[in-house]
Chain A
Amino acid sequence: MTRARIICIGNPYQPGDWVGPAVYAALRREAIDPDIGLIDGGLQGLNLLTLMENVDNVVFADTFISDGAPGSGIPQVLREPFAGDPRLSFDHAGGLAYLLQAAPLVVDRLPRIAVVGMDAGAGRHRVGELARLCLSVARERHHAA
């Protein structure tokens, strides 16, 4: 069984949604642990539920929209995102939120989940740092599993 998956979310052809695809491209050039799967999740939304099965932990890499909140320019980790959050969003920013709220309802053995990302305005020079953070979170949870 794959112990961890890093699922990169976003559309490489859409300005402002580039962070996840850039992390995917960066990690493809790295030697990743054999039991960590790297997935180009694109815009697949609910279609990614299958990839949350038979795995111990899942790390999503995505663009954060933080409206200039303090610290938004640096890579961040959200643990247990949307747990118990009753809000629903269906706009462009809603796909991952919907997925993460649906997952506990239909995935039999829910993996531990983290979302790692940064604001699109943070700049591409921070992609390497973000990719390493994704790997670190995947490994950390892997070893804790």
Chain B
Amino acid sequence: MGERRICEIPMNRVEGDLEIRVAIEGGRIVDAWSSGTLYRGFENMLTGRAALDALVITPRICGICTTTHLNSAAKCLDVIAGVVPPDNAIRLRNVAKLVETVQSDLRQAILMFMVDFANPVYAPHPLYETACSRFAPLRGSSAIETIRETKRIIEIIAIIGGQWPHSSFMVPGGVTNLPRVGELATCRVLVQRFRQWYERRVLGCALERWQAVDSVAALDVWLAESPAHADGDLGWLVRLGRACGLDAMGGGYRRFLSYGVADLPLETAADDGLAGRSFVAGVSDGATMSPLDQARIGESIGASHFEGYEGLRHPFDGVTRPLPPEAPGGKRYSYAKAPRYDGEPAETGPLAEAVVAGEPLFAGWVAGHGANALAREVARLARPARLLPLIDAWLAELIERHDAPFIVNAPKKIDGEGYGLVNAARGALGHWSRVQRGAIVGYQIVTPTAWNGSPRDDKGVRGPWEEALIGVPIRDEGNPVEAGHVIRSFDPCLVCTVHAFDRRGRTGGLRIGA
């Protein structure tokens, strides 16, 4: 064994502020600490405000998942108000949220993840030149096309929300507006146009052909079947990922959490191709899926810059009392809390969603080889193949049933407690709220990156991506691209997760001058 050294892993191209510290021994990572460096504080900002203020404030947590936070906040208020939104409201909420998910999946995979294949460390590799020509930031052909096409599809959210950005069209009991039939038809055209691009550029085949890939062996057959498959962005991901060893690194815990891809309207013909399993919230060890019980969720602050309790607390009982950051090496090292399910860490995201739903390719991949960085990213880049038909089906149903209600009356004064659980692009997102006399007295937000990027808990158990880093080989400590592959396969979003100060005192805006 070589000398044990502690290294800081520079992590750019993540949303927000993340610092990774690792111990390296014998050329491999033997321990890891993930630190969210900003105090977010939204929970405390919400306390004392009117219950409905959450619809306006929580979407501001993140510039990427604004619609998803709105969806979670609205569901939370549905529960407190004791109302069930009508089917058309659920369809519109689903469409907007899934469009946001699709654009995020494409942008993260192509603009954030694949760009690492253009890292100079891979220069000797025969695929390197093509990786640069396709994925280099703001130059690669795939990078530019992805920016252009994802710009178009989010116009659907503007049409549904009646405003872009920062719409608050989801309210307790439904949505504020049903777009006209012509507008919904325009949305369908946007979806179909995006699908055509996705099939041509990303899959290299029709969605139906990709959906028939039901095992790792079938993935190999698909890859060899046609030059178009191998030359699509997904084909390149598989080829480059294997060439760089991503299918053998970043395992983590074999415990997966999903809140389900969307809420199912009572009457719908939308088909996820999985007998509806993708709509079910659950936890899986890769072999057995158990339905989710949100009462089993708790958060630890044992290694977080917070005070107020020991052990685990359910979000309804959670408190957010920040402490000043400790010096590096201290027991507390992150402004993220440590969510646990049944006391154990759990991974969330597209791979977890697919495994919980029993999607054959990914369930089999995990069962046979364990989770890994490549499987996570393939699940992300392939997820739109499952979501785009759902979006189109719900838009078609909105046109067919245009006269049906899109909102039910909710009481103006609401009291009680509720939670809203949704799958964001990065995984399980939950809002928990308690309201007394119309005012928020407690609000806790547990984000996907809190699950994935959690620090240790009271028992000293590492968070999922801390664990996934264990064993990762680092060839060059000055350019630790392998650690970057693993962390980015979880699609970190620290903006949402950290509970604002930057140690340099710089927190936003446009940098100019010297």
Q: Is B280 an interface residue (CB 8 A)?
A: no
Q: Are B507 and A78 in contact (CB under 8 A)?
A: no
Q: In the bound complex, what is the Cα–Cα distance between A101 and B152 (angstroms)?
A: 18
Shortest CB distance A10–B (Å): 6
Shortest CB distance A53–B (Å): 9
Contact partner of A90 (CB less than 8 A), chosen from B12, B154, B155, B165, is: B12
Q: Are A42 and B166 in contact (CB under 8 A)?
A: yes
Q: In the bound complex, what is the Cα–Cα distance between A44 and B64 (angstroms)?
A: 7
CB-nearest residue of chain B to A14: B500
| Complex interface residues of chain A between 47 and 69 (CB less than 8 A to chain B) | 47-51, 62-67, 69
Contact partner of A44 (CB less than 8 A), chosen from B42, B144, B165, B509, is: B165
Known: A11-B508, A42-B166, A65-B506. Is A105-B42 also a contact (CB below 8 A)?
A: no
Q: Are A15 and B147 in contact (CB under 8 A)?
A: no
Q: Are B107 and A16 in contact (CB under 8 A)?
A: no
Task: Note all chain A residues with C-beta closer than 8 A to B166.
Answer: 40, 42
Task: Note all chain B residues with C-beta closer than 8 A to A89.
Answer: 511
Q: Are B509 and A67 in contact (CB under 8 A)?
A: no
Q: In the bound complex, what is the Cα–Cα distance between A47 and B501 (angstroms)?
A: 25
Task: Note all chain A residues with C-beta closer than 8 A to B506.
Answer: 16, 65, 92-93
Q: In the bound complex, what is the Cα–Cα distance between A90 and B45 (angstroms)?
A: 27
Shortest CB distance A3–B (Å): 19
**By the criterion of a CB under 8 Å from any partner CB, how many residues of chain B are at the interface?**
42
Q: Is B408 an interface residue (CB 8 A)?
A: no
Q: Are B509 and A90 in contact (CB under 8 A)?
A: no
Q: Are A50 and B507 in contact (CB under 8 A)?
A: no
Task: Note all chain A residues with C-beta closer than 8 A to B144.
Answer: 105-106
Task: Note all chain A residues with C-beta closer than 8 A to B224.
Answer: none
| Secondary structure call for the B interface | loop
Task: Note all chain A residues with C-beta closer than 8 A to B138.
Answer: 88, 101-102, 105
Q: Is A115 an interface residue (CB 8 A)?
A: yes
Known: A14-B500, A88-B137, A90-B14. Is A120-B509 also a contact (CB below 8 A)?
A: yes
Q: Are A43 and B12 in contact (CB under 8 A)?
A: no
Mask of A10-30 contacts with B, CB within 8 angstroms, 1/0: 111111110100000000000
Task: Note all chain B residues with C-beta closer than 8 A to A92.
Answer: 16-17, 502, 506-509
Q: Are A78 and B512 in contact (CB under 8 A)?
A: yes
Known: A40-B165, A90-B13. Is A106-B147 also a contact (CB below 8 A)?
A: yes
Q: Are B147 and A16 in contact (CB under 8 A)?
A: no
Q: In the bound complex, what is the Cα–Cα distance between A76 and B13 (angstroms)?
A: 29
CB-nearest residue of chain A to B506: A65
Q: Is A41 an interface residue (CB 8 A)?
A: yes
Shortest CB distance B1–A (Å): 35
Task: Note all chain B residues with C-beta closer than 8 A to A101.
Answer: 138
Q: Is B164 an interface residue (CB 8 A)?
A: yes
Shortest CB distance B149–A (Å): 9
Q: Are A16 and B509 in contact (CB under 8 A)?
A: yes
Q: Are B63 and A43 in contact (CB under 8 A)?
A: yes
Task: Note all chain A residues with C-beta closer than 8 A to B513.
Answer: 64, 66-67, 69, 72
Task: Note all chain A residues with C-beta closer than 8 A to B158.
Answer: 50
Q: Are B60 and A115 in contact (CB under 8 A)?
A: no
Q: Is A73 an interface residue (CB 8 A)?
A: no
Interface size class of A (residues with CB under 8 A): 35 or more
Q: Are B511 and A65 in contact (CB under 8 A)?
A: yes
Q: Is A36 an interface residue (CB 8 A)?
A: no
Contact partner of A106 (CB less than 8 A), chosen from B107, B151, B502, is: B151
Q: Is A91 an interface residue (CB 8 A)?
A: yes
Q: Are B107 and A46 in contact (CB under 8 A)?
A: yes
Shortest CB distance A42–B (Å): 6
Q: In the bound complex, what is the Cα–Cα distance between A8 and B414 (angstroms)?
A: 34
Q: In the bound complex, what is the Cα–Cα distance between A78 and B506 (angstroms)?
A: 20
Task: Note all chain B residues with C-beta closer than 8 A to A90.
Answer: 12-14
Shortest CB distance A51–B (Å): 8
Q: Are A117 and B148 in contact (CB under 8 A)?
A: no
Shortest CB distance B291–A (Å): 35
Q: Is B150 an interface residue (CB 8 A)?
A: yes
Shortest CB distance A63–B (Å): 3
Known: A14-B500, A40-B166, A105-B138. Is A65-B509 also a contact (CB below 8 A)?
A: yes
Q: Are A117 and B60 in contact (CB under 8 A)?
A: no
Known: A49-B147, A106-B144. Is A65-B164 also a contact (CB below 8 A)?
A: no
Q: In the bound complex, what is the Cα–Cα distance between A66 and B64 (angstroms)?
A: 27
Q: Are A44 and B508 in contact (CB under 8 A)?
A: no
Q: Is B514 an interface residue (CB 8 A)?
A: yes
Contact partner of A13 (CB less than 8 A), chosen from B14, B45, B164, is: B45
Q: Is A131 an interface residue (CB 8 A)?
A: no
Q: Are A106 and B148 in contact (CB under 8 A)?
A: yes
| Complex interface residues of chain B between 112 and 151 (CB less than 8 A to chain A) | 137-138, 144, 147-148, 150-151
Known: A90-B14, A92-B502. Is A45-B63 also a contact (CB below 8 A)?
A: yes
Task: Note all chain B residues with C-beta closer than 8 A to A44.
Answer: 63, 66, 165
Task: Note all chain A residues with C-beta closer than 8 A to B150.
Answer: 46
Extra pairs beyond A92-B509, A120-B509 (6, CB < 8 Å): A46-B150, A65-B510, A67-B513, A88-B138, A93-B510, A106-B147
Residues on B close to A: CB < 8 A? 12-14, 16-17, 41-42, 45, 57, 60, 62-64, 66, 107, 137-138, 144, 147-148, 150-151, 154-155, 158, 164-166, 495, 500-502, 505-514
Residues on A close to B: CB < 8 A? 9-17, 19, 39-51, 62-67, 69, 72, 76, 78, 81, 88-93, 95-97, 101-102, 105-106, 115, 117, 120
18 A-B residue pairings within 8 Å (CB atoms): A10-B508, A16-B509, A17-B509, A19-B509, A43-B62, A50-B154, A50-B164, A63-B508, A88-B138, A90-B14, A91-B12, A92-B17, A93-B508, A105-B144, A106-B144, A106-B148, A115-B510, A117-B509
